[in-house]
Structure 1
Amino acid sequence: MNDITPAELKQRQAAGETPIILDVRETWENEESRIEGSQNIPLGTLPDKIADLEELKDQEIIVHCKGGGRSATAKALLTQHGFSHVRNLLGGITAYQAQ
């Protein structure tokens, strides 16, 4: 599935959509700033949490980090485990906040 731009995500949120947003930054980063409605699962703990996300396998999941690197890794990991609609937030929260 194609990745998502910060502008597209903000447009969808403004329209009242509540997509599943997974923040794979460290907990302290999430505490400093976060995207409304996001769930924080640091990338290092994601392999242990995949079973907890099983019910979301067929739903769109938007993953993000600070700049896009860690979330690209998270997208690959989730895709390997059968998640079919994972999108990376291009530019991460940095680009999102700059919009």
Structure 2
Amino acid sequence: MIKTAGQLISEAQTQISCLNVASAKSLYDETENVVIIDVREAGSAAQSKLTDSANISRGLIEMKVPSLCPDPETVILTHCGGGGRASLAALTLNQMGYTHVHAITAKFEDIKKVFG
């Protein structure tokens, strides 16, 4: 049986830390060593992005995150357009050995309102 994207995302979300926007903002404001990674495609990020985020599309996460976050203890917040890709990216980062990864499972517009 082939799994759908929705099924893979649902499975990932049982294995990772998912945060709503308010919880993510609190963690961001209270944490010193934190990185926000926008896992949308570069074109979407070029149109609108969070002020303090780095864009690494989900397809390049394994190759580019180690140079951005060499410390596996770095707090990483992933986000995308709706939470699905952020969840899959967070699972990948956990599998890579990052220990404090959280997916913001909200729509980009809602995240942008809070994070700027």
- 1:61 aligns with 76
Question: Counterpart of 2:112?
Answer: 97
Q: Which of 27, 39, 60 is the equivalent residue of 2:54?
A: 39
Q: What TM-score do the two structures reach when normalised by structure 1?
A: 0.81
Matched residues in 1 for 2:26 and 2:62: separation?
31
Residue 5 of structure 1 deviates from its aligned partner by: 1.6
Deviation above 3 Å: which 4+ runs of structure 1? Answer: 9-13, 15-19
**Contact 2:90–2:103 at 8 Å: present in 1 too?**
yes
**CA offset at residue 95 of structure 1?**
2.7
Instruction: Compute the displacement of 1:27 (Å).
Output: 0.6
Contact 1:35/1:93 (8 A) holds in 2: no
**Matched positions, count:** 98
Q: Which moved more, 1:36-45 or 1:50-59?
A: 50-59
CA separation of 1:93 and 1:56: change in aligned 2, threshold 3 A: farther
User: Any stretches of 5+ residues in structure 1 without a counterpart?
Assistant: none
Mapped pair 1:30 → 2:45: yes
**Kindly, what percent of the aligned residue pairs are identical?**
28
What residue ranges of structure 2 are gaps of 5+ in the alignment? 1-15
**Structure number with bigger Rg:** 2
- Tell me if the contact between 1:68 and 1:89 (Cα under 8 Å) persists in the aligned partners: yes
Deviation at residue 44 of structure 1 after TM alignment? 0.9
Q: Distance in 2 between matches of 1:2 and 1:56?
A: 19
